[in-house]
Amino acid sequence: MPDGRLDAVAYGCTSGTVVMGFDAICARIHAARPGVPCITPITASLDALNGFGAHRLAVLTPYVDDVNAAIAAYLEARGKSIAGFTSFHIEDNEQMAAVPSEAIFQAALEADRAEADALFISCTAIRAADVVERIEQALGKPVVTANQALFWQALRAAGYRAPVDGYGRLLKLPAD
The answer to whether residue 4 sits within a structural domain is no
Supply the CATH number for residue 89's domain. Answer: 3.40.50.12500
- Residue 1 placed within a domain: no
Q: In the structure, what pLDDT confidence band is assigned to residue 93 with cuts at 50, 70 and 90?
A: very high
Is 3 a domain residue? no
Q: What is the pTM of this model?
A: 0.93
Q: What mean pLDDT is predicted for residues 108-117?
A: 98
Residue 69 lies in a domain: yes
Does residue 116 form part of some domain?
A: yes
Cβ contact 119:58 at 8 Å = yes
Length of the chain (residues): 176
Cβ–Cβ under 8 Å, residues 33 and 3: no
Number of domains present in the structure of the chain = 1
Residue 2, domain member (yes or no): no
For residue 141, the model assigns a pLDDT of 98
Q: Which residue segment(s) compose the domain that 35 sits in?
A: 9-171
What is the structure's pLDDT at 1?
53
